[in-house]
Copies of this chain bind each other. A is one copy, B any other.
Amino acid sequence: MSESLNERSKRILEAIIEDYISTAEPVGSRAVLHRHGFALSPATIRNVMSDLEECGFLASPHTSAGRVPTAKAYRLYVDSLLQLRGIAEDEEAAIRRRCSIIGKDVAEILKDTSRTLSTISHYTGIVLAPRLAANIFRHIEFVKLGQRRILAILVSEGGIVQNKIFESDAELSAADLGRMSNYLNDLLHGLTMEQVRRRVLEEMQNEKVLYDTLLKSALEFSEQALEDEGSEVFIEGQANILEQPEFADLEKMKEIFRAFEEKNTLVSLLDRCMSARGVNIFIGAESRLSSLEGLSIVTSSFRTGANTLGVLGVIGPTRMGYGKVIPIVDYTAKLISNLLNSQ
């Protein structure tokens, strides 16, 4: 049972996978013949298919149905059978047209990107918003909302804005808050968030600061403001999943929508893709998340320079049109990287 299939077996497996991707129905020996022009008889195909099943590439739902590719088959398919033909021109144009920056905030940009991914791919788009931690400090600002209520606004590279409301012990004037902002902006200019955090802690030991209550509370506030509030996920086009015949079963569908709402698990999955360059593919159970059984995820990270800003991708059935989706995800990630790079 050698794992290295011969050329013919590979071609047949490829045909079966592509057939199944387009029809969503178990494919039988005659179907392979019909739609692809092999110069072989059904019986021969059957023999090959039987071998492929033994090697774990195919499975039969029951005796008298055709066969269905396994996760292993898809893995082989995306790794060595599939030849990427690059992104289609009209798709590229559509993505470029829909992803713009001007006049939006970053959250909006990413949400629109997620929606674009879903619309173009006809599956579900997912974008993991940038995390603060890995990023570079740009600006901090405190705004007085009420007597003691203060809004902290933190801006990092690429225009990512995080803001938080909190309450101060003492009442501070708007001018005080302005001075605090200035002090911190000078102090923290150009540092990474890691460094910012360390710097704030160091500075709190500083003698001058110890005797200046204003500076002291400035540092205390910034410490609170810096607490990373966890990443945000934008999942758009969930309804596209409903079109997939394999999820016609109500129970299965509930599970998927629950998984979409339970964003933490998705975040941890996408976190794993953060560091990897290029396109990443999880097929079915490979994600180790039982709730995503039957689903595949194609992701790529976007970045400014060496900094990974976030991850975007497409979720669809394992029976996904990888040949189309992979270039889409790849291109979109690169486009967003460029857009967020402030020159």
Check A104 against B164 for contact (C-beta < 8 Å). Answer: yes
Check B161 against A161 for contact (C-beta < 8 Å). Answer: yes
Top 9 A-B pairs ranked by shortest CB distance? A146-B342, A239-B257, A145-B342, A105-B163, A146-B343, A139-B143, A149-B342, A151-B159, A242-B254
Check B261 against A224 for contact (C-beta < 8 Å). Answer: no
Check A165 against B343 for contact (C-beta < 8 Å). Answer: no
Taking A101-B165, A104-B165, A242-B254 as given, write out 14 further A-B residue pairs in contact, using a Cβ cutoff of 8 Å, ordered by the A residue number: A102-B167, A103-B164, A104-B164, A105-B162, A105-B165, A145-B157, A145-B159, A146-B343, A149-B342, A151-B161, A161-B161, A237-B261, A250-B250, A253-B253
Q: How many residues of A contact B (CB 8 A)?
A: 50
Q: Mark A196-210, 1 if CB is under 8 A from B, else 0.
A: 000000000000000
Check A250 against B254 for contact (C-beta < 8 Å). Answer: no
Check A151 against B143 for contact (C-beta < 8 Å). Answer: no
Q: Could you list 26 A-B pairs, sorted by A, with CB under 8 Å?
A: A101-B165, A102-B167, A103-B166, A103-B224, A103-B227, A103-B229, A104-B165, A138-B145, A139-B141, A139-B143, A141-B153, A143-B159, A145-B157, A145-B158, A146-B342, A153-B153, A153-B155, A159-B163, A161-B161, A161-B163, A238-B257, A242-B250, A242-B257, A243-B254, A248-B250, A250-B250
